[in-house]
């Protein structure tokens, strides 16, 4: 496993309406690990569900969002599985109208990749995706076993398409799946059980893990973090360390095993909604250090925590203004630089 030592990552969305401006910010702020940004303010098709809905059976993009249309369900399912069996990755491509930031980043990387260590890609996680769409009876697709399998296989195919697209640049790829819905896991708001969640993630990752990709999971709320530590094949856990670090460190025994198996932790310590000009990189470094101190006292190797440490914003920046997004990335850079020096 790579020794990240405080390397900075970006998460999901940016507030820009122009892809060039968004990617300018990414390459300036995250030169070692650029990511392609979602731009939901530019086009509703760049929302985190719509963006990955193309060519998935019975899903239609409308002005109100992604809708379920079962009129030709049997035929669409048959065609879908034929493409999966044939390994037709191109069928699952994300088109430019749905991901302008992705294509802009590709064009920029064509001009050179000096100084880049990793390229970060992402898909919306299957549980967040399914929870956002209701069937013809008004029930979430989370409760439809047939379509949960479709969603997992379809998202895996879209991940694989991204991997193949960016592989030509010769850099290691980090692939995150974003699961904000799982902040509700274990509450009265969802009936998901632990076994189904772990199996869903395992099935998703198995669809592209053979491609020598580092896989990560992002959840911007509190959850049962053992569902991630216990998912086979998962390499990086990204959590909101600004608001939920005290909850996260309770999983020290699980994290100990996760790190010893080669896992890494991405501390989302730079706040998004809670950002203030008064927050300093020193205060954020001290917050991370306090979490590391607690975990060390609970038996987690300090050496591994520091070696396998990444840092990020606590969530995507798509709901903020452009000026604030730039300030958050500046704070992220300064925090990352300081974290790389701690021992």
Cα dist. 90→127, 158, 213, 323 in Å?
Answer: 24, 9, 19, 37
3-class state of residue 125 by DSSP: coil
Give residue 210's pLDDT. 79
29 neighbors 330 (Cβ within 8 angstroms):
yes
- For domain 7-339, the CATH architecture is Alpha-Beta Barrel (3.20)
**Per-residue pLDDT tens digits for 103-127:** 999 999 999 999 999 999 999 999 9
Give residue 189's pLDDT. 63
> Which band of pLDDT confidence, cut at 50, 70 and 90, is reported for residue 155?
very high
317 neighbors 17 (Cβ within 8 angstroms):
no
Q: What is the pTM of this model?
A: 0.96
230 by Cβ neighbours in 10 Å (0-12 / 13-18 / 19+) ranks as middle
Residue spans per domain, the chain: 7-339
**Per-residue pLDDT tens digits for 231-252:** 999 999 999 999 999 999 999 9
Q: Tell me the H-state helices in 30-125.
A: 73-86, 100-109
**Mean pLDDT over residues 203-210, rounded?**
88
229-235 CB contacts, 8 Å cutoff, 24+ apart:
229/254, 229/255, 229/257, 229/258, 229/263, 230/198, 230/254, 231/198, 231/201, 231/202, 231/205, 232/202, 232/205, 233/202, 233/205, 233/206, 233/209, 234/201, 234/205, 234/263, 235/1, 235/262, 235/263, 235/264
Residues 6 or more apart whose Cβ sits within 8 Å of residue 278: none
3-class state of residue 190 by DSSP: coil
Torsional class of 202: left (φ above 0), alpha (ψ -120 to 50), beta (otherwise): alpha
**Per-residue pLDDT tens digits for 25-34:** 999 999 999 9
DSSP per position, 227-240 = HHHTSTT--EEEE-
DSSP single-letter state for residue 172: E
Angstrom distance (rounded) from CA 239 to CA 298: 19
3-class state of residue 89 by DSSP: helix
101 neighbors 19 (Cβ within 8 angstroms):
yes
**Mean pLDDT over residues 91-98, rounded?**
98
Mean pLDDT, the chain, whole residue set: 95
Give residue 18's pLDDT. 98
Residues 6 or more apart whose Cβ sits within 8 Å of residue 261: none
pLDDT at 188 over 60: no
């Amino acid at each position: 496993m790579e020794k990240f030592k405080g390397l900075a990552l970006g998460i999901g969305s940016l507030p820009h309406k122009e892809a060039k401006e968004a990617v300018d910010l990414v390459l300036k702020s995250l030169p070692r690990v650029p990511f392609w940004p979602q731009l939901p303010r530019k086009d509703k098709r760049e929302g985190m569900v719509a963006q990955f809905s193309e060519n998935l059976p019975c899903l239609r993009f409308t002005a109100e969002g992604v809708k379920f249309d079962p009129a030709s369900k049997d035929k669409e399912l048959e065609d879908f599985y034929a493409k999966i069996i044939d390994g037709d990755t191109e069928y699952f491509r994300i088109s430019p109208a749905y991901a302008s930031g992705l294509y802009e980043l590709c064009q920029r990387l064509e001009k050179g990749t000096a100084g880049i260590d990793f390229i970060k890609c992402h898909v919306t996680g299957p549980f967040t995706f399914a929870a956002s769409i209701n069937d013809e009876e008004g029930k979430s697709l989370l409760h439809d076993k047939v379509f949960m399998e479709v969603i997992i296989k379809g998202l895996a195919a879209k991940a694989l398409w991204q991997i193949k697209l960016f592989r030509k640049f010769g850099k290691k790829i980090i692939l995150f799946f974003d699961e904000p819905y799982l902040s509700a896991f274990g509450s009265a708001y969802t009936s998901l059980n632990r076994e189904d969640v772990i199996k869903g993630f395992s099935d998703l990752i198995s669809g592209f893990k053979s491609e020598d990709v580092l896989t990560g999971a992002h959840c911007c709320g509190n959850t049962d973090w053992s569902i991630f530590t216990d998912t086979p094949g998962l390499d990086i856990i990204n959590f909101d360390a600004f608001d939920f670090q005290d909850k996260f460190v309770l999983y020290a025994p699980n994290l100990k095993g996760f790190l010893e198996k080669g896992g890494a932790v991405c501390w989302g310590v730079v706040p998004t909604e809670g950002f203030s000009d008064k927050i300093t990189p020193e205060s954020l470094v001290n917050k991370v250090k306090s979490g590391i101190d607690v975990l060390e006292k609970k038996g987690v190797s300090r050496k591994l925590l520091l070696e396998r440490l990444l840092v990020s914003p606590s969530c995507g920046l798509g709901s903020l203004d452009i000026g604030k997004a730039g300030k958050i990335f500046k704070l992220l850079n300064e925090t990352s630089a300081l974290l790389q020096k701690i021992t």
